[in-house]
């Protein structure tokens, strides 16, 4: 399994017992969806390695207490400490309407209701307080704040994101 075929679920945060149990921090708004997993992919040495789960239970909101097969001591748990956890993209719950996963809109055509087609979705930059749509128009990168009021429609069928940007925002990049 390649990382591009997976989504980041969380990170092994700390040991829970001397028998190798660990707590996984779940980076999700719905941790209960991941309570009964059979396996996960653990990133070890830049490779995704499948780990099978013997038992698991939610622990204090955002943590999953896990007992992996073949991890039966503190020393074994130490070897996977702080490793990132991934699941296949096929395990993501389907979203509808204008809700979307960042990866699913990459490559979509971006249309502004006022200006028409303004480019292709390169991705979403969420490294700042305000996530930004990264839109490529030829060699020009257009950054548009990801604000619900700007999003008119996510058209999955036609692979299109339709936006209603404020006058001047996109024009700033295109020089029009």
Q: Over range 4-18, report the average pLDDT.
A: 92
- Give the per-residue pLDDT at 30: 86
Tell me, what's the pLDDT at 176? 63
Alpha carbon dihedral 72, 73, 76, 77, in 10-degree steps, equals 90
Please give the DSSP secondary-structure letter assigned to residue 102: G
pLDDT band at 131 (very low <50, low <70, confident <90, very high): very high
111 and 52 within one domain = no
Domain that holds residue 77: 3-91
* CB atoms inside a 10 Å sphere around CB 24: 28
Is pLDDT at 169 greater than 80 in this prediction? yes
Per-residue pLDDT, averaged over 62-87, amounts to 95
Residue 174 reports pLDDT greater than 70: yes
Verify that 107 and 63 share a domain, yes or no.
Answer: no
Q: Are residues 58 and 34 in the same domain?
A: yes
The strand pair at 116-125 and 132-137 is best described as antiparallel
Q: How far is CA 79 from the centre of its chain?
A: 25
Whole-number pLDDT of residue 18? 85
**Domain end residue (candidates: 65, 91, 117):** 91
- The owner of tokens 């490294």 is 127
Residue for token pair 């092994």: 12
Instruction: Give the per-residue pLDDT at 43.
Output: 96
Structure tokens at 150: 């700007």
Helix (H, G, I), strand (E, B) or coil at 111: strand
| pLDDT tops 90 at residue 137 | yes
Tell me if 65 is assigned to some domain: yes
Is pLDDT at 123 greater than 70 in this prediction?
yes
115 shares a domain with 63: no
Q: 47, exposed or middle or buried, with CB in 10 Å at 0-12, 13-18, 19+?
A: exposed
């Amino acid at each position: 399994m390649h990382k591009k075929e997976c989504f980041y679920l969380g990170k092994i945060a700390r040991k829970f017992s001397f028998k190798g149990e660990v707590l996984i921090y779940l980076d999700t708004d719905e941790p209960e969806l991941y309570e009964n997993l059979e396996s996960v992919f653990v990133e070890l040495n830049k490779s995704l390695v499948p780990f099978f789960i013997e038992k698991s239970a939610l622990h204090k909101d955002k943590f999953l207490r896990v007992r992996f097969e073949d991890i039966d001591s503190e020393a074994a748990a130490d070897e996977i400490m702080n490793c990132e956890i991934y699941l296949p993209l096929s395990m993501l719950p389907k979203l509808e309407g204008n809700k979307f996963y960042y990866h699913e809109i990459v490559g979509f055509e971006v249309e502004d209701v006022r200006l028409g087609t303004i480019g292709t979705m390169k991705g979403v930059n969420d490294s700042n307080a305000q996530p930004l749509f990264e839109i490529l128009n030829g060699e020009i990168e257009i950054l548009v704040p990801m604000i619900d009021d700007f999003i008119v429609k996510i058209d999955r069928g036609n692979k299109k994101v339709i936006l209603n940007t404020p006058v001047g925002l996109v024009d700033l990049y295109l020089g029009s």
